[in-house]
């Protein structure tokens, strides 16, 4: 999903489709790219830490 958010954000920044008009679409696109980058880079590490098996004693 993170990679798709990044791609959708770049399409918004470039003006590939319109949501609210061009100046606003660029800012929405930047926000979507940042959200996608966070989802793509940080979330797997957080989920791996949460789902880690308990250490055996």
pLDDT digits (tens, 9 = 90+) for 2-55: 999 999 999 999 988 888 888 898 999 999 999 999 999 998 888 888 888 887
| Alpha carbon separation from 53 to 46, 48, 50 (Å, rounded) | 14, 10, 9
**Distance linking the first and last C-alpha atoms of the chain:** 37
More reliable by pLDDT, 1 or 57: 1
Query: What integer pLDDT is reported at residue 57 of this predicted model?
Result: 67
| Residues 11, 36 contacting (CB under 8 angstroms) | no
Q: What is the pTM of this model?
A: 0.75
């Amino acid at each position: 999903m993170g990679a798709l958010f990044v791609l959708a954000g770049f399409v918004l920044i470039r003006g590939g489709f319109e949501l609210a008009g061009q100046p606003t679409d660029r800012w929405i696109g930047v926000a979507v790219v940042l959200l996608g980058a966070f989802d793509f880079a940080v979330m797997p590490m957080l989920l791996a830490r949460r789902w880690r098996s308990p250490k055996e004693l």
